[in-house]
């Protein structure tokens, strides 16, 4: 892109007229720009804001309407697409009988234990490889080779080794979280701004000081990004593992509903899975944004 712009600029230059050397502007203190207040007619501003709020709801409402209409008019049979009211009723039933909490808590426990094991190992592995090039030389090629096999590839192997019990789920979920966390942690170490390291050396920091005062603080935000990715992966794998081999949990609800051709149950469980995933992702995103806000200040202060 830069090149394309440069040639465009070259062509635009008038030939034979050398450019005057650019004079450095005298340093100016940044002025606060005066706030421009645009007076818009009160009514139209309110209307456009309301419209803006409403627009995102247009598509879901339309889809829901179509779904409702489709089942009402009998375009599709109830077995293929249960009416929305029926799905809602199933969801309410699930919640009131306590089945929902039972399965959701089983799933949450699995994903939490697996994620904690996986991310703990991942951060440790990433830290060790990031701090010592020697360890990285020994470990990283094997790690990269094993990463090529997706979680689902490990599944039959783990099934034979561990059976269908809880350890299987913990191992697979931990593996799912481990990979992105390790890679992001390692990358965080590789991406420490060179300028910061140079400043550290100029001040004669010891190796330990460089690690604790420069490397670790600047690695916190990328590591957190890895954790968020790891959790997304863990949640994804949880559903697969439960779909394939379990006797409780949200994924099991989906598999059970599928076996009995109760699509209302399937859809209700999918809604719950999506809602929980969304909620967790949003909270991770919130923390991540706060961490990144702090990070952006560091290079600015140095410049």
Partner 1 sequence: MSTLTSSAAPSTRRYRGWVLPVVAVAVWWLATNQGWSDSGLLVSPQKVAATAWHQFTSEAFWRAISSSLARNLSGFFIGTALGLVLGCLLGFSRLFERVVGPSFNTFKQISLFAWIPLISVWFGLGDVAKVVFLSLAALVPVVVNTCDGLRNVPPAFLEVAKVYGFTRWQTIRGVMLPAALPSIFTGVYLALVYSWLATIGAEYLLVSGSGIGNTLIDGSEHFMMDLVLFGMVVIGLVGWSLNLLARSLERRMQRLYGITPR
- The interface with partner 1 within residues 173-232 (CB under 8 A) comprises 189, 192, 194, 197-198, 201, 207, 210-211, 215
Dist. CA 115–CA 176, nearest whole Å: 8
Applying CB under 8 A, the site for partner 1 has a residue count of 73
Dist. CA 149–CA 136, nearest whole Å: 20
Give the distance between the most distant pair of CA atoms in the chain: 85
Q: In the complex with partner 1, which residue's Cβ is closer, 16 or 56?
A: 56
> End-to-end alpha-carbon separation of the chain, Å?
26
| By the rule CB under 8 A, 2 interacts with partner 1 | yes
Among 106, 127, 174, 255, binds partner 1 (CB under 8 A): 255
Smallest gap from Cβ 271 to partner 1, in A, equals 8
Stretch that binds partner 1, among 84-92, 98-106, 139-147, 292-300 (CB under 8 A): 139-147
CB proximity list for 136: less than 8 A, separation 6 or greater? 129, 130, 186
| By the rule CB under 8 A, 106 interacts with partner 1 | no
Quote the Cα angle for 141-143-144, to 5°: 65
Quote the Cα angle for 225-287-179, to 5°: 25
Provide the mask over 14-43, with x wherever binding to partner 1 is found by CB under 8 A and - wherever it is not.
------------------------------
Binding residues among 272-291 for partner 1 as defined by CB under 8 A: 273-274, 277-278, 281
Dist. CA 245–CA 248, nearest whole Å: 9
Stretch that binds partner 1, among 31-39, 221-229, 263-271, 288-296 (CB under 8 A): 263-271
| In contact, 70 and 252? CB cutoff 8 Å | no
| By the rule CB under 8 A, 77 interacts with partner 1 | no
| By the rule CB under 8 A, 140 interacts with partner 1 | yes
Q: In the complex with partner 1, which residue's Cβ is closer, 113 or 244?
A: 244
Place of tokens 């804001």: 49
Place of tokens 């050398």: 18
Q: Residue 64 has which token pair?
A: 């829901």
Dist. CA 58–CA 128, nearest whole Å: 50
Smallest gap from Cβ 276 to partner 1, in A, equals 9
Among 10, 12, 17, 43, binds partner 1 (CB under 8 A): 12
| By the rule CB under 8 A, 80 interacts with partner 1 | yes
| By the rule CB under 8 A, 270 interacts with partner 1 | yes
């Amino acid at each position: 892109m830069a090149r394309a712009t440069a040639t465009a600029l070259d062509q635009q230059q008038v030939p034979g007229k050398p450019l005057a050397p650019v004079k450095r502007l005298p340093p100016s203190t940044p002025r606060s720009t005066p706030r421009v207040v645009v007076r818009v007619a009160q009514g139209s501003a309110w209307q456009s804001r309301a419209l803006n709020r409403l627009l995102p709801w247009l598509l879901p409402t339309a889809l829901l309407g179509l779904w409702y209409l489709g089942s009402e008019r009998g375009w599709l049979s109830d077995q293929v697409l249960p009416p929305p009211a029926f799905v809602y009723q199933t969801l309410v039933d699930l919640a009131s009988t306590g089945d929902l909490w039972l399965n959701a808590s089983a799933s949450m426990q699995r994903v939490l234990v697996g994620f904690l094991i996986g991310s703990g190992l991942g951060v440790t592995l990433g830290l060790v490889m990031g701090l010592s090039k020697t360890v990285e030389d020994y470990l990283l090629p094997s790690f990269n080779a094993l990463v090529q096999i997706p979680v689902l590839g490990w599944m039959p192997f783990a099934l034979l080794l561990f059976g269908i019990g809880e350890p299987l789920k913990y191992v697979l979920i931990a593996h799912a979280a481990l990979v992105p966390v390790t890679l992001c942690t390692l990358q965080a170490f590789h991406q420490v701004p060179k300028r910061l390291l140079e400043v550290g050396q100029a001040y004669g920091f010891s190796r330990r000081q460089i690690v604790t005062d420069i490397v670790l603080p600047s690695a916190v935000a990328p590591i957190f990004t890895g954790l968020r990715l790891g959790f997304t992966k863990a949640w994804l794998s949880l559903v697969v593992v439960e779909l394939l081999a379990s006797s409780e949990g949200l994924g099991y609800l989906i598999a059970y509903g599928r076996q009995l051709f109760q699509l209302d149950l399937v859809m209700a469980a999918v809604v719950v899975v999506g809602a929980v995933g969304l909620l967790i992702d949003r909270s991770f995103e919130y923390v991540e944004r706060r961490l990144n806000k702090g990070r952006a200040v560091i290079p600015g202060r140095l410049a």
